Structure 1
Amino acid sequence: MTAFKVLFALLLTAATIDSQSFHGGKCPKPSVQEDFNVTKYMGTWYEIEKLPAVFERGTCNQATYSLQSDGTVKVHNAELLSDGTINSIEGVAKVKDPSQPAVLSVNFFKGVADSPYWVLSTDYQSYSLVYSCSDFFGVFNIDFAWILARTRTLTEDVIKQLHEKLTAAGVLAQDVYLPQPNETAYIAASYVKFLESAGARVVPVMINQTLEEYKTLFNSINGILYPGGGVSIVSSGYERAAKIFYELAIEANKRGDYFPVWGTCLGFEQLMYLTSKKTILAYTNTSGVALPLNFTNAEDSRMFKGFPAQLMKDLASEPLTVNSHKWSLGMLTYNTNEELKKFYKVLSVNTDGNVEFVSTVEAYDYPIYGTQWHPEKNAFEWTRPSIPHSPSAVKTTFYMAEFFVNEARKNFHKFETEEGESKALIYNYNPVYTGTKSAFEQTYFF
């Protein structure tokens, strides 16, 4: 008898330049406005264009700046949401170095690191070009750029000129680069080990493939996992591929073709966006912290019903789940969103002390699962002190992996030929040790 082979697709986390906000390497250092006058910059600016930013959910975005007596700048951002309400937030901006007044930092949340706010170019009266970039361990960076105006519109000629300034600064046209040539995407090796530990084999899903290529791959594999990462869940190669596989999975399951989908961290957030079709995440102070799970409906769930009673007790009382995210689905949002309430059953929640957020879900009618936390890290990552490695923590990794791989055993897709299967497997790539410079011990680059 031929052994049953479970083939999992693992979606690549990093995107090419199509994702716009994600790039390999450190942040560029574009030139900024010379002799910047912060007083002349005060007042209201309207957003004309932006690189996709998940923390902006509405339209008619505007920012009002007011100079305070201590020399800092009060920032008031507002946007119009789809339901007609106004969403706003206030923060404080300040000049870090008086010799570079156009290089500011802004903060909206106490206890959270400031975000860069660089004024690349402005005439104070009509337009402003703003740039922000954050480094992640020197391996990749995430950046945003805004074209602002004193009025709600700008002429096409002015917008074109500002695009050219961005291109010259190496922002919008910045090519993707990583330590070796042709490395435009990655998968943390811990996700591969996670699936392999339960008896599955892994196929990497390359971004920016055609719809037909994705359909062919879908019919060859037994499930898909959306890993964590740092790309846009609204506009990126990751989002496009995730959306295609999500829709294919829904269609397949409706006709009795059992196909499981799993999302971890960013993958969880991606699933919430795909289901609700809205950017509904809230900021939480949950980066680099292990938490116990506050179970809600876990006792009769598919996901946890096979877990030993002692492990369930430990999960509820010990900090065994690693959280490495800044954006979460608040319970208040879940409870007021009909699409999410109808689709997902909440199995556990957590809180950062201010916001109660959803941490584990499973779909009511589909084999679709999500964890805002990282089950794969406990057994396979050692780069951060927040990752627990106790016996119960490691058991959590393996029980989660066993559950999801067993879900995939219910699917009977396969490659048309053994040669095609062999060429698709992750074994064709070698992981690289990246533990000294990133959050991952090992990484596959593509």
Structure 2
Amino acid sequence: MYCPLVVSVRNCSSVGPTDCCCCQCVTIIAVMLDLHLLLSLLLSLLPLLSAQTYHWGPCPSPKVQPGFSLQKYLGRWYEIEKLPASFAKGKCIEANFDVRKDGSIQVINQQYYKDKVRKVEGTMIMPDPREASKLGVSFSYFTPYSPYWVLSTDYVTVSVVYSCTDVLRLFHVEYAWVLGRSRFLPAEAVRYAQGLLLEEGVDLYKMRATDQEGCQD
């Protein structure tokens, strides 16, 4: 049966018997267009996703630090290990958290990349004080806050951080960090952090140590 290329009709009940349109064909065409758009979007994301860690399905909900104190967490943290992140490919990576005059939390991330020290300033928020360790960070007025969940920290030595973002409700992109108050952590502290991530189902296959050799404070 001939069917003209009509894509504006989604509700077949609105098509009259005299309309020059095959409702079934219209539905198929609409679905094909939706799939084409979805495929195009997924293909456009491939270069980004290739440098990240992603899995099918929604984000998990790992256990987080109980009784978290943001005040104790402030200060400088050095990146010891992480899952791949396209925005952090350099060495000497660190994050410094401080309180601005207006009471907001300032985040300054710093790394040495391509023979240059690069800094980016952002803001940290606590969406729900009842879940104080589930924080959010953003480095642009035009981007939403990304999850920054503190799974465990003793505030003085090590911190284990997890972040996950759902993409189209089809899969999720996850990040994980082992942070230290110094550029180098004892081996037992790193093993503790890795064990915690494993318990929460984080695949450590892509976990990589951050180069902190020869860095200046």
Taking structure 1 as the reference length, the TM-score comes to: 0.34
Aligned partners of 1:67 and 1:101: how far apart in 2? 16
Query: Matches of residues 103-114 of structure 1 in structure 2 within 5 Å?
Result: 103-114=134-145
Q: Which residue of 2 aligns with 1:62?
A: 94
Query: Matches of residues 311-326 of structure 1 in structure 2 within 5 Å?
Result: none
Aligned partners of 1:153 and 1:78: how far apart in 2? 17
Shift of residue 154, structure 1, vs aligned partner: 0.7
The 3-state SS of whatever aligns with 1:75 is: strand
The 3-state SS of whatever aligns with 1:154 is: coil
- Residues 294-318 of structure 1: CA deviation (Å, up to 9, x unaligned): xxxxxxxxxxxxxxxxxxxxxxxxx
Q: Which residue of 2 aligns with 1:290?
A: none
Shift of residue 155, structure 1, vs aligned partner: 1.2
Aligned partners of 2:125 and 2:71: how far apart in 1? 12
Partner residue of 2:146 out of 115, 127, 136? 115
For structure 1, the 5+ residue unaligned runs are 1-11, 175-231, 236-446
Change (3 A) 1:145 1:161: same
Aligned partners of 2:129 and 2:64: how far apart in 1? 14
Partner residue of 1:99 out of 127, 130, 133? 130
Query: Matches of residues 294-313 of structure 1 in structure 2 within 5 Å?
Result: none
Does the Cα contact within 8 Å between 1:33 and 1:102 map onto a contact in 2?
yes
Q: Which residue of 2 aligns with 1:385?
A: none
Partner residue of 2:169 out of 110, 117, 138? 138
Shift of residue 76, structure 1, vs aligned partner: 0.3
Partner residue of 1:34 out of 66, 75, 88? 66
- Aligned CA RMSD, in angstroms, stands at 2.4
User: Which amino acid in structure 2 is aligned with residue 160 of structure 1?
Assistant: R
Shift of residue 58, structure 1, vs aligned partner: 1.0
User: Which amino acid in structure 2 is aligned with residue 156 of structure 1?
Assistant: A
Aligned partners of 1:66 and 1:138: how far apart in 2? 34
Change (3 A) 1:19 1:65: closer
Does the Cα contact within 8 Å between 1:39 and 1:67 map onto a contact in 2?
no
- Residues 30-64 of structure 1: CA deviation (Å, up to 9, x unaligned): 01111000000010000000101011121000000
Q: Which residue of 2 aligns with 1:327?
A: none
Q: Which residue of 2 aligns with 1:156?
A: 187
Q: Which residue of 1 aligns with 2:159?
A: 128
The 3-state SS of whatever aligns with 2:130 is: coil
Partner residue of 1:44 out of 76, 79, 103? 76
User: Which amino acid in structure 2 is aligned with residue 44 of structure 1?
Assistant: R
Shift of residue 161, structure 1, vs aligned partner: 1.1
Q: Which residue of 2 aligns with 1:77?
A: 109
Aligned partners of 2:84 and 2:52: how far apart in 1? 8
User: Which amino acid in structure 2 is aligned with residue 45 of structure 1?
Assistant: W
Aligned partners of 2:96 and 2:134: how far apart in 1? 18
Aligned partners of 1:173 and 1:146: how far apart in 2? 11
The 3-state SS of whatever aligns with 1:99 is: helix
Aligned partners of 1:107 and 1:167: how far apart in 2? 27
Higher relative contact order (CA 8 A, sep 6+): 2
- Residues 91-143 of structure 1: CA deviation (Å, up to 9, x unaligned): 00000001011001111011211111000000000000011100012210000
Query: Matches of residues 148-297 of structure 1 in structure 2 within 5 Å?
Result: 148-172=179-203
- Residues 183-214 of structure 1: CA deviation (Å, up to 9, x unaligned): xxxxxxxxxxxxxxxxxxxxxxxxxxxxxxxx
Q: Which residue of 2 aligns with 1:426?
A: none
Aligned partners of 1:120 and 1:29: how far apart in 2? 11
Aligned partners of 1:36 and 1:70: how far apart in 2? 22
Taking structure 2 as the reference length, the TM-score comes to: 0.69
Shift of residue 69, structure 1, vs aligned partner: 4.8
- Residues 351-403 of structure 1: CA deviation (Å, up to 9, x unaligned): xxxxxxxxxxxxxxxxxxxxxxxxxxxxxxxxxxxxxxxxxxxxxxxxxxxxx
Percent of aligned pairs with the same amino acid: 40
Aligned partners of 2:114 and 2:140: how far apart in 1? 25
- Residues 144-193 of structure 1: CA deviation (Å, up to 9, x unaligned): 0000000000111111111110011112269xxxxxxxxxxxxxxxxxxx
User: Which amino acid in structure 1 is aligned with residue 195 of structure 2?
Assistant: E
